[in-house]
Structures are given as structure tokens and as C-alpha cells.
A and B are shown apart, each in its own frame.
Chain A
Amino acid sequence: MQRQIICVDMDAFFASVEQQSNPRLRGKPIAVIGSGGRTVVTTRSYEARRYGVKTGMNVYEAKRLCPEIIFVIGNNEKYTYTCSRLKEIYGRYSPEVEVYSIDEAFIDVTTTSHLFRGPLEIGKGIKQEVKEAFGITCTVGIGPNILIAKLVSDISKPDGLRWVKEEEVTELLEDLPVEELWGIGRHISERLALLGIKTCGQLARASAGLLRSKFGIIGERLKEMGMGICNRPVKVVEDEPKSIGHSMTLPKDIQDRAEIKGYLLQLCEMVCRRARAYGYNGRRVSLTIRLSDFRTFTHQRVMPYYTNHTHRVYNYVVGLLEASGLNAAVRLLGVSLSGLIKEEKTVPSLFEEFHREGLLYRAVDMINNKYGEFNTVWGPYLRSIRGSQVISPAWRPSGIRHVKVR
């Protein structure tokens, strides 16, 4: 049976939500930015794209390209809620739904499409339901695998709907530049160009041996991609997490050690609270520091025990900070806990102190579960900006990758 995979990609998602929310923004060039003082464009409307405004630009660059651009501070709760509701809509057509990012999802309708008169009708149904529920548009690409479905959705934007069947894939790919394929970035496409490979058709005909010699184990995979072959399944169940991490771009560069430690304690609490909520302990702690000149360092250390106790992790993170010899202003801090195992597989500590700590964290977690995140906080970060302000690419509508963002 030919697989039928749907890729749903929301059109300029955050910007479309804001234009739908506020009728005065409709038809105008807008850019959604974060609430911090030095944020960049996270999404821009199609009207702004015409002026060359791109994601990741700072507001000054965007304003220079498009003087009439309107900056809108994003409302992450709106976007994460909408994403969760979109998943419900997709779930009406198939149980095999993978929310790949806040604005993209894959749906395997191979075994359910006959119930809805084919995948094209499902695509129409999804587009109609999304429009009715939220007033925004999405593009639906349908293909025999995820790679082609994603490609079809990318080349059909905005508000598109297209089905490319297996027998049409070769023709679609023949003259398509390799960088259009999902997973082939600028670096790989430049290296392919040096081999005289610029289109997917050329990539498909390239010698597997040559690709292997130049790209190692991904060489054959690249050839398959050129042929439109992809066996990656739609992941309905999330993989077990390898790490739990949080990072934070600070409101301003800071050098004061006490202030840095306040943010580190907060990051440790965010990491450990999530680990406790999903029953994980970790053993390896990582500290990431980005300086004001964007140089970035990551330091790691393995703890002698598995834990999800905030202050235990914090002590090791501070140890890493001290050992780093940091004496410059910091722009971004990140903490992650890896080497994860489930709590029930951890040998309980024989020390009473450990047990008492656990009860304290449990009590604080229960208060925050009832009254809201950061209702009860540790003293050193009372004055810090609190919580996640950015939707990470790893964000998911449920499970351990679900992080509440403000």
C-alpha cells in the first residue's frame, strides 16, 4: 500500500494569529517579536516578507527594510494553545499525528484516508476546520513520505493544497535545487555544488561511492533523498528524552556574579522541576555561557549520583561557573541535565538529608502546580525575570517537551 503522509504547515503562524486577533493589522507588514528589550523577528507577515524582512533580523534591520512595519510583541500562550487545538483537529483524521514543531505537523493517513474519500479531502477538511476555528490559513502537502510531504508543503505556500503521488516524485525532484530538500542545508548544498550536484535529479544519479567518500555515512542517505526516498515514520510517541535543558537570553548583559547565580538557580529549578514532574533523575550537568560578543562555551561535569534536586544540580553548575574563569559580561545562560534515568530505577539515597530535600521540593512543586509557575521561588532569583519567554524548537503540546511559556 502506498503511504500517504500529510504535512500541515501554518502560514506565517504567529503573524497570522496576530493579524486575525487584531483586524487593524490585517493586510499590513507586521513582525512578531519577543517581549525582551533586544529581541529579533520571530515571524513576519507575508506583507513584510515582500520587503525582505526575515526571521532572526533585529528590529532595526527590519525597520530599515520596511519603514512602515508594525512590531507586535508575541503572545506565546496564544500560539501554544492554538497548536494544541490544531493537534485535536488533526487527530480527527488519523491517530498517527506528530507535532513536529509549534507550526508544523505530520499525519499518516495511509490507513484512514479511505474513510474520508482520500488524502486530498482530508487536506481540504483540515484547511477548512483551521480556518473556521481560528480564522488563519495553513498549507497542506501530501506525499508518499515525510520528506516529500514537507517539500510539497514548502513549495505550495501560502494557503496551498497539493498531493504528489509516488509516481510523480521523480519528475518533481528532477530540476529542484538540492537545498529545497528538508535536511539539506547551506553547508551540504555548497559541498554538493563542488561535486557538480545542484539539483535533486543530479543527486539521485550521483555515485553512492562518491557520496560516501565525501560525506561519510550520510552519503547514501543523501542519494536516497535525491530519489525522494525517506523511511522515517511519523513519530506518534515521543522518544525518551536524552536531556532536559533550559536557556535564557538575559534582559541585558550581566557581569555581576550574584545576579548570574540568581539566573542559574532559576534555570536549575526549571530543569529539575521538569525532571521531577516526569520522574527523571540525571547525572551529567552542563552549563552554557554566551558572552556579549556571542562566543559560546559549554562546560560539563558528571555528578557522583543521579538527582533532580535543584540545589544539588545548582552546586555543580556553580562549580562549573567558577572553573570557567568567567570575567566577561554574559548574554545567555543555559543549564541542562542529561544521563537521565527514570526515578524508579534510581537507587534511593540512604542519607536522611536527601529524603528531606525531596519532600521540600515536592511541597514547592505542589504549591506551584496549584497556584502557578514561580508562585513560590528561591530567594536568589526573586529579582530575576522569570520563566521561559521563548517557544523552543523542541516544544511539544504535551509530555516532557511541553514547557509553559509566557
Chain B
Amino acid sequence: MADPSVLPWYAALLLPVLLGGVTWLALVGDALFAGERAAVAAPGREVARLLVGQRRRTVASDALLGRVGGAVLPVAALLAAAVLPLGERPVADLSVGVVWFNAMEVLAWAAVWLVGWGANSAPAMVGGYRFVAQGLAYELPHMFAIITAALGAESLRLTTIVEAQRDLWFVVVMPVAFAVYLLSAAAMAFWGPFDAPVARDVAGGAAAELSGVDRLVFAGGRWLLLVVAAAMAVPLFLGGGAGPLLPAWAWVAVKTAAVLALLLWLRHRFPTVRVDRFVPFAWVVLIPLTIAQALAVALVVLGGA
């Protein structure tokens, strides 16, 4: 018998298509923010250009690790989206959904280092190492923020977390965790002010020696990671599909679009910040802040229960 709390099995095959479509729309939105003409066709132009581009091979490159890293980045993003409630039901309602999402994001972090390593090129290595430092620093506040949401619902299952927000959204109960989550989501997808790993001062950083299809896969993986991280803010903090009038999936789409618009605007508003400016901020300010937030929520939960 089909389990009513998860989508049917063929939804797993439709998930990449759906996420690809959302990523396309995000790219259009980014082009609109940048003020490009014919923004609707901007992703199509980029994809076509990269598909016909020539792939690059460097001397004594570690092709095995580089290609594995490039392939794992989008796959990890897709696997992380498997626990995302699309409307009311996710593709896979794991009892440890929050930890699974975290594990897949960390896998994407390792994949970017592999891409930087595989090219046997100094700027690529520098970009890879920048991302290792940045990811490590922002992973802990990220973890604490999503654990605070799980703490508020007393469960690691994402559908239970959505259920627990029926009366009050978590963004009201734990605003600090929500703000830190948005910041760390941008940092983990090396987006916006946090794109030092692929910045111009290291000739494109981790993606320096990528060209053609390799670059398409890498850039696609990075966009997918951003979209999935933004979409995960909805069940964790913004009440999932709750809302009047529209069905659950429509509300999820609207809220995801709002969070994505905020993250896209962030990139066009702020320049790239140097790594040694924002990494100590994560270690020294954000970690105690998120721990204090978790303590506050734990006291509320213990007091209420």
C-alpha cells in the first residue's frame, strides 16, 4: 500500500526536474536583479554557451578526484532535497531528516574542495582552501540553527517540524536562528558576499580550470545548493505549506521564492567580503549566539512541556 505521508516513488525521478525548473527561475531572477536585457533567456544563453564550450585538461591533474567532486556537488544537493516537503509530503520522510540534510550539505562542501584540488592549479587550490575554511566556520552555526528548529518541534523529522508550527511559525519563536540560517545558507553555497572561493582575485577560484560541461555541472550544483538551502528555510522556520486560501504546494513555492529573492538581492547589494573578515565573525560571534538561542528555545520547550 502506498504510504500517504510520502510522495509516490516516481516523485523521486521528478524531483530533479522540479528543482531544475526552480533553479532556472532563480537564474532568471538573478538576471533581473542584475538588470540584464531579455532576462528570461539568460539561463538558456549560459547553458548553451557552456554546453558547446571546450573542456579543459591540465597537466598532471587528479582527474579522478576532480571529476568525482564535480559530479558529487549537484548529486548531494539533490539528495538533500529528498527530505524537503513539497507541499505537504516529501519524497522521503526520514525520521532523521534534519541530520540527513546537514550530511548532504557537508558532502557538497567536500566536493568543492575536490574540484579545487583536481585541477593541479594554484588559484583553484586557493579557492578550494578558502571554501574549506569558510564552510567549516559557517557549518557550526548552520547546524545549531537547524537543530534549534528541531528542538522547538522535539523531532528530527521535517513533517513533524512543519506540524509543530501550526500555531506559531518558528521564525517568531527563534528569529536569531532564522537570521543565522539565512547567512550560513549563503555561506555554504558560497553565494553573494561569501563568494571568495570563486572570486575574481583568484581567477575564478575553485572553478578556475573548469570549462564547458564541467563548469556547467559545477555552476549548476552551486545554484541547486542555494535553491535547496533556501527551500529548506520554509519547513524549518516559515511554517511549511501553512497559509490561507492557497493549497500547501503554492504556499511553499511563494515562501521559497521570497527567501530566494532575499538571497539573490544579497549578492547584488554587497560586494565580496574577504575570507579573513567573515570567518572569525562566525567562530567568535555566531557560535555563542546560536548556542544561546538554542538554550533559550530549550528552556521554552521544557517550561511549556
Chains A and B belong together in one complex: no
Binding site for A on B (CB under 8 A): none
Residues of A in contact with B (beta carbons under 8 Å apart): none
